[in-house]
């Protein structure tokens, strides 16, 4: 698909979804803002810029100003564009939720945690001979002590209403 067809397709899709309920997520605090450049156009420019690989917003804006100026004649300044984009930040999770496939998530939700297992305290940590291949000297900021030991990392699968089950 060429760039213009992609731009038109994204714009029409965004306009349709915006009319069906995405408008609820857009912030509208100032009643006197200039709306010649619509929210649909802001979302379209952002999505098309990301699809074209223009990742920093400044690069995305410069690309839009340089190549898509005919399609968006009321494109504001960079500051105005970023301000409008920030006000529409809550639209993107709803848009992603709409485009995501329904059903269970592809990856289970997990909780990660780590904790130290002290094998030798502060005074003996430099001469400790316990598990020389596994253990190392370190500092535990939670307990505020230097030790010789190992650190255990645990990932637990989410279980609603109870503690996570270790993976």
Mean pLDDT of 44-73: 90
Where are the alpha helices (H) located in the chain, listed in sequence order? 3-20, 39-51, 57-67, 78-87, 91-99
42/140: higher pLDDT: 42
For a pLDDT cut of 90, what percent of the chain falls above it? 17
> What is the reported pLDDT for 31?
63
d(CA 39, CA 45): 10
Whether residue 146 is predicted with pLDDT greater than 90 in this model: the reply is no
Q: Which residues of 55-88 are buried (b: 16+ CB within 10 A; e: fewer)?
A: eebeebbebbeeebeebbeebbeeeebeebbebb
Reported as a single tens digit per residue, the pLDDT across 96-113 is: 888 877 655 556 677 888
Q: 0.85 cut: is pTM over it?
A: no
d(CA 12, CA 59): 24
When the pLDDT of each residue in the chain is averaged and rounded to a whole number, the result is 83
Whether residue 48 is predicted with pLDDT greater than 60 in this model: the reply is yes
Token pair, residue 114, equals 């780590």
Mean pLDDT of 10-15: 92
pLDDT grade for 32, boundaries at 50, 70 and 90: low
3-state secondary structure (DSSP) of residue 150: strand
Whether residue 37 is predicted with pLDDT greater than 70 in this model: the reply is yes
Q: From its phi and psi, is residue 117 left (phi > 0), alpha (psi between -120 and 50) or beta?
A: beta
Mean pLDDT of 27-55: 82
Residue 68 per-residue DSSP state: S
The residues, any chain, with a CB within 8 Å of residue 140's CB and separated by 6 or more, are: 116, 118, 146, 147
Residue 101 per-residue DSSP state: P
Cβ atoms of 113 and 100 closer than 8 Å: no
| 113 class by beta-carbon count within 10 Å (0-12 exposed, 13-18 middle, 19+ buried) | exposed
> What is the reported pLDDT for 160?
79
**Which residue bears the tokens 């349709």?**
16
Whether residue 145 is predicted with pLDDT greater than 70 in this model: the reply is yes
């Amino acid at each position: 698909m060429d760039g213009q067809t992609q731009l038109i397709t994204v714009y029409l899709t965004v306009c349709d979804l915006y009319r069906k309920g995405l408008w609820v997520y857009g912030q509208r605090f100032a009643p006197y803002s200039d709306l010649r450049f619509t929210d649909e156009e802001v979302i379209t420019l952002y999505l098309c810029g990301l699809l074209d690989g223009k990742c920093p917003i400044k690069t995305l804006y410069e690309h839009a100003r340089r190549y898509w100026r005919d399609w968006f004649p009321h494109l504001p300044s960079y500051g105005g564009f970023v301000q409008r984009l920030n006000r529409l930040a809550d639209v993107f999770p709803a848009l992603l939720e709409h485009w995501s496939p329904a059903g269970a998530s592809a990856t289970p939700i997990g909780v990660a945690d780590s904790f130290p297992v002290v094998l030798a305290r502060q005074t003996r940590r430099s001469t400790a001979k316990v598990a020389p291949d596994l253990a190392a000297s370190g500092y535990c900021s939670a307990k505020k002590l230097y030790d010789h030991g190992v650190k255990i990392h645990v990932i637990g699968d989410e279980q609603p209403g109870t503690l996570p089950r270790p993976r």
